[in-house]
């Protein structure tokens, strides 16, 4: 509904005075300080993984946020042993119904449709709910003629939903094809991690593709590749910087600059005045 729910959860779960140790440089900081710095390590610049509501709070104008289809949840389509229990546990732990939040809001007063995957829930994996919400967001942006932002954070397909999970790749890609055909503007933002079927569908289909520094981005997982080729992987493999070097992302944008960059891009893609088209006719 709003940021408060998430905020309360966060405070109850963590406590602002507790220390956080940076997984990259081992520096220690109060969680409060880390939160004030958008969860970027003040010492080494490591970008912590953040939840969907934290992300929205950083990106959107204050009080501009309205969540859509909040309660969409999984049917457990394969009747997979233990999956319902696992879903319930994750719901309790995260306060989310699945690994995705869809919202409308504004960035510097420009209205946008935003989808954020949340890696705290089943590593952001894409099952039917994630695929469905993304597709609805694309269709909504298409109907309302709004720009679309998707923040990916996902290990890939949700195994427990099997083939239904796989088919979300076709569904989301088809919706984006239509949106693109209608000149819809889509910015895909890849955050840590963006893998598997998410990389091989909507995340790679942005008009603009941005990534956060150091984010792991790829199709096949490192373990699978190592087992297949029988050698270890080069340093920096599948990191945002590697992807940029190989031509697959437009820019790496550190989190503190992301909101400004998005606003800049949105302004550069404001629809042309109808009058301009009219004057060319007849």
Partner 1 sequence: MTRTKDNQYIALARAMDRLSVTDYIQALFTDFFEQHGDRLCREDPSILGGIARFHGMPVTVIGTRKGKNLRERIRFNFGMPNPEGYRKARRLMKQAEKFQRPIITFIDTPGAYPGIEAEARGQGEAIAKNMMKMSQLKVPIITVITGEGNSGGALGLAVADWVVMLSHSVFSVLSPEGFASILWKDASRSTEACELMKLTANDLYEAGVIDGIIEEPAGGAQANPEQMYALLDQALAYYLEELSQKPINDLLEERYEKFRKIGFALE
224 binds partner 1 (CB under 8 A): yes
The answer to whether 198 touches 164, Cβ cutoff 8 Å, is no
Stretch that binds partner 1, among 29-37, 45-53, 55-63, 162-170 (CB under 8 A): 162-170
Asked if 228 is part of the footprint of partner 1 (rule: CB under 8 A), the reply reads yes
Instruction: Determine if 154 is a binding residue for partner 1 (CB under 8 A).
Output: no
Q: Are 18 and 30 in contact (CB under 8 A)?
A: yes
Q: Decide if residue 119 touches partner 1 (CB under 8 A).
A: no
What's phi and psi for 136, nearest 5 deg?
-60, -40
Shortest separation between residue 19's beta carbon and partner 1, angstroms: 31
Closest by Cα among 152, 160, 161, 168 to 209: 152
Which helix (H) or strand (E) is 245 found in, with range? Answer: helix 240-245
**Closer residue to partner 1, CB minimum distance, 61 or 69:** 69
Q: What are phi and psi of 272, to 5 degrees?
A: -65, 155
Half-sphere exposure of 209 (CA within 13 A, CB side): 20
Q: Contacting partner 1 (CB under 8 A), which of 45, 77, 111, 254? A: 77
11 or 89, CB closer to partner 1? 89
Is the Cβ of residue 34 or residue 240 nearer to partner 1 in the bound state? 240
Which H helix or E strand runs over 134?
Answer: helix 128-144
Interaction between residue 250 and partner 1 (CB under 8 A): no
In contact, 41 and 27? CB cutoff 8 Å: yes
Sites of contact with partner 1 (CB under 8 A): 69, 71-75, 77-78, 80-81, 127-129, 131-132, 135, 157, 159-171, 173-178, 180-181, 196-197, 199-205, 218-221, 224-225, 228-229, 233-234, 237-238, 242, 246-248
């Amino acid at each position: 509904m709003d940021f408060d729910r998430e905020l309360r959860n966060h405070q109850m779960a963590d406590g602002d005075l507790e220390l956080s140790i940076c997984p990259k440089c081992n520096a220690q900081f109060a969680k409060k300080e880390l939160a004030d710095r958008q969860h970027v390590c003040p010492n080494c610049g490591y970008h912590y993984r953040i939840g969907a509501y934290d992300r929205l709070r950083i990106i959107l104008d204050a009080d501009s946020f309205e969540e859509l289809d909040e309660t969409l949840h999984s049917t457990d389509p394969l009747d997979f042993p233990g999956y319902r229990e696992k879903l319930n546990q994750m719901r309790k732990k995260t306060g989310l119904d699945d690994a995705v939040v869809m919202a409308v809001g504004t960035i510097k007063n420009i209205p946008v449709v935003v989808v954020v995957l949340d890696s705290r829930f089943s590593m952001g994996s894409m099952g039917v709910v994630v695929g469905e919400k993304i597709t609805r967001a694309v269709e909504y942006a298409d109907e309302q003629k709004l720009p679309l932002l998707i923040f990916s954070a996902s290990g890939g397909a949700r195994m427990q939903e099997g083939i239904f999970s796989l088919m979300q790749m076709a569904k989301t890609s088809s919706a984006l094809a239509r949106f693109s055909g209608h000149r819809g503007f889509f910015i895909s933002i890849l955050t840590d991690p963006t893998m598997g079927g998410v990389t091989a569908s909507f995340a790679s289909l942005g008009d603009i593709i941005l990534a956060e520094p150091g984010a792991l981005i790829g199709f096949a997982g490192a373990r699978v590749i190592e087992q297949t080729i029988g050698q270890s992987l080069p340093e920096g493999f599948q990191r945002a910087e590697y992807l940029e070097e190989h031509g697959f992302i437009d820019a790496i944008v550190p989190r503190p600059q992301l909101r400004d960059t998005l606003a800049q891009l949105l302004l550069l893609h404001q629809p042309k005045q109808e009058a301009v088209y009219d004057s060319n006719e007849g």
